[in-house]
A and B are shown apart, each in its own frame.
Chain A
Amino acid sequence: MASVLALPRITLAAVGARVIWWFGYVLQIATLIGHGLWRLTFGYGQMRSVTRGVLVRQVLFTAVEALPFTGMIAAIVGASVMVQAQMHLSGSPDMVGKLLVLVVIRELGPLVTAFILIGRSGTAMVVEMGNMRVGGEIDALDHAGIDPFEYLVVPRLFGMAVSLVGVAVFFISVAVTTGLISGALLVATETNALEFIDLLARQLSWLDFLAFFAKTFFPGLMIAGIACYEGMSAGPHVTDVPRAATRGTVRAISALFIWNVAVSAMLYLA
């Protein structure tokens, strides 16, 4: 009898321990992001020119250098969505506009862009920070009186958040443009470009802009926060860095999905 009762108790204890661990992890990331935001907002005036240089380099790497690849993916997504829309909703330009707003602007744009930045920059960030930790560079900064949080974490948080907003806007622009072009090529439609843009604009509400910001700026902070945390808490050996990179990527993707679902749910309830 005792052994029959022991199994559920052990399972419950294991699940409970895991939940408590995750709660602690989320709290640590939230604290890191909160502290970073505080430094950004109230401390931005005091941001040193060296730190601003790190921020500029981060935006250059995360946003500007990612544009060609993002553009290619956006073109494919835009064309695919438009082909599907024309195939199944032919003759209904209103429905096509609605679908583009629903699929590309509200969901796919922020989500796919965040995926691209996780794979391209988030992983690189974990590896860079992990190698810096293994090489004693972070300790060296601290021993030289340079606050590693201010010098390394704050510009990466802000750089990633701003980059995600910018790259998502670029993604949506390319996807919509490609959708428009491929629609015109595939189907002889009477709707011209201006009418199509007007159609899209009529489908958008202020809630879409709010949701777009919530789905880009905050995931940007989360991706960078998780990357910095995992990199800086990597073990002391070189072999710990790839493990940290994998962990960071998986956790960033999980956080992204959970956040997106939560924002979408709130959007539809509003």
Chain B
Amino acid sequence: MNDTPPDTTAAAAATELLRYDHVTVHVARLDGPLFAPLSFAIHPGDKLVISAPSRMGKSPALRAAIGAQPGTQGAVFCLGERVSALSPHALLSLRRRVGFVPATGGLLSNLNLYANLTLLLRYHDEVPQEEIDRRAAQVCDELGLGDLTGRPLASANHQERHLIAIARAWLPRPPLLILDDPDFGLDDETASALWERLAALRAAHQVAMLVATSRPRLALRHGGRHLPLRPSEAP
């Protein structure tokens, strides 16, 4: 799969949400690339699962999609824009249109769960509170989260935090969700339930997903393409 050239027909290119052309990440400590060059394209409704053992470069591979990974080589096109050509301001603007969920979840410790969930919507769009409440309730329902109003962050367990981080990224309705190890630290049963909810979300909204995981078996149970990261050859 790594060597498969991306589909370059005009029609396909027009609907591409994300495209990697021979992308890899160079790190100083290795004096070479972290993984073999990646090439793929993602269209609306697609799901691509990148798998690799720990510390092989899954997270850097995903961060390259939004221009947040130093040392990225190759060409990354996200939502029609060449990421390496964007100014810092334009990069922030691009990131607002992509739902990126880091492996840690990245929930803010000084906000309660509801404020975390609605942060992006309040920050980027400044939509009226009633609309925020309506959309938050809908997303909570879709992802099986209960009422989060007034709940402190500390009251959420590991699985809930993962789901709230995903819900936060999904609330502004981006066309592409990038999920870094969303089932990290979850047992198989809980992870299966998470993937089930994500599959339902994808089916209902045709949202494209780029996922990195060390457990591709669970991630691929509900469909999607598989792209194992290969170690780079010696420089």
Binding site for B on A (CB under 8 A): 48-50, 128, 131-132, 135-137, 139-147, 151
Contact = CB atoms under 8 A, between A and B. Distances in A.
Interface stretch (B33-41, B75-83, B107-115, B215-223): B107-115
B173 to A, nearest CB: 14
> At the interface, is chain A mostly helix, strand, loop or mixed?
helix
Contacts of B123: 48, 50, 146, 151
Count class of interface residues, chain B: 20 to 34
B126 interface: yes
Given A50-B122, A145-B95, A137 B100 contact: no
5 contacts: A50-B119, A50-B122, A140-B104, A141-B108, A142-B68
Nearest to B98: A145
B63 interface: yes
Interface in B90-132: 92-97, 100, 102-110, 119-120, 122-124, 126
A206 B97 CA distance: 52
Contacts of A142: 68, 92, 95
B97 to A, nearest CB: 8
A139 B105 CA distance: 11
Nearest to B121: A50
A140 B178 CA distance: 13
Given A50-B126, A139-B68, A145-B92, 16 more contacts: A50-B123, A128-B110, A132-B109, A135-B104, A136-B102, A136-B104, A137-B107, A139-B106, A140-B106, A142-B95, A143-B63, A143-B66, A143-B95, A144-B169, A146-B124, A147-B92
Contacts of A141: 106, 108
Nearest to B62: A143
A48 B95 CA distance: 18
Contacts of B119: 50, 144, 146
B109 A137 contact: yes
A31 to B, nearest CB: 16
A135 B96 CA distance: 21
Nearest to B96: A145
